[in-house]
Amino acid sequence: MNAPAKTDEFAVQNAAVKIPDGVYAETVLSVEHYTDRLFRFRMTRPAGFRFRSGEFAMIGLMVGDKPIYRAYSIASPSWDEELEFFSIKVPEGPLTSHLQAIKPGDTVLMRKKPTGTLVLDALTPGKRLYMFSTGTGIAPFASLIRDPETYEKFEEVILTHTCREVAELKYGFDLMEEIRNHEFLAEVVGDKLKHYPTVTREDYPFQGRITDLMESGKLFTDLGVPPLNPEVDRGMICGSAAMLKDTKDLLEKAGLTEGANNKPSEFVIERAFVG
C-alpha cells in the first residue's frame, strides 16, 4: 500500500540531486575548518581526470536546480589519488555560502577541463623558485610544493604566505609538517623548501605585506639569499588583484619578465584566482 508514496518520494529526492551532463560528480572525503573564513576539503578524484600541479578547475554545487561553479586551484599534487581544495567562506557568497557546509559523503561537481598558468612548464629554467601567496592564494602552491618535479627543476623553493591573522597561516604550517613526515616527499624535498609566513594585522615575529618586505630587502635578509636576479630567480604569484599587480611590478623592476603556457619566461601570475 505504501509503495506508490515511496516511489514518489524517491523520484523527488533523485530530481533534487540531478547531476548536469558532462561534469564529474565527486564524493567529499574530509573537511577541515581552520577559521570562520577558511576551510579545506578533500574529495574523490575521477579516474580519467589529469591535471598539472598548480592548475585550477571549476568546482560547483547544485543550488536549487542550478549548478553554480567557481574557479578553484587544485591544492593536491598531480600524483595524488584524491583532490584537495582550500577555500574561503563568504557569508553571502553564491557558492561558498553553500560549499562551507559540505560534509563527508556529499557530492561536489567539477567541470572536466583543468587549466591555469601557475605551472612549471610556463617558467624558463632557473635556480630559485619564489611562490608568492596571500590568503587562499597558497592553494596552487600547496600542489606544487608536494610535486617532486618542482625539486627536480629548482635547487631552492621559497613559499611566502601572507595573511591578515596568525590563525590563517595554519594551512601552510600543516603542509610543511605533512611534507616533513611524508615517506617519499621528505627525502625529495630535503632542505630545498623554505616557508616564509607573515601577517599584517596581528603581532607576529614576521610581519608585513610581502611587497613591503621585498622593497625593504628584509625578505632576502631573513632568508639569507641575494636580491632578485632574473638569471637565477623565478616567480609565481597568487593572491588578490591588488597583490598580483604590486608583486608583478616589483618582479618587473628587478628585471624579470612575465611568461605564459605558450611563452615560458621568468614569472607567472594566476588571474583566475577567487580570493
135 binds ligand A2P (CB under 6 A): yes
Q: Does position 140 bind ligand A2P by CB under 6 A?
A: no
Instruction: By CB under 6 A, tell whether 164 contacts ligand A2P.
Output: yes
Question: Distance between CA atoms of 89 and 98, rounded to whole angstroms?
Answer: 9
- Counting other chains too, the contacts that 212-217 makes at CB distance below 8 Å and 24 or more residues apart are 214/247, 214/250, 215/250
Contact string 181-200 vs ligand A2P (x = CB under 6 A) = -------------------x
Q: Which cell goes with 220? A: 632576502
Q: Residues 6-45: x/- map of binding to ligand A2P (CB under 6 A)?
A: ----------------------------------------
- DSSP state letter for 86: E
Count CB-CB contacts under 10 A for residue 223: 15
Nearer to ligand A2P, 73 or 150 (CB): 73
One residue of 163, 169, 214, 268 binding ligand A2P per CB under 6 A: 163
Which amino acid appears at position 23 of this protein?
V
Choose the stretch contacting ligand A2P; rule: CB under 6 A; options: 46-54, 116-124, 139-147, 235-243: 235-243
Yes or no: say if 173 and 207 are a contact pair by the CB < 8 Å rule.
no
Whether residue 189 contacts residue 202, with contact meaning beta carbons closer than 8 Å, is answered with no
Interacting residues with ligand A2P (CB under 6 A): 134-135, 162-164, 200-201, 209-211, 240, 242-243, 246, 275
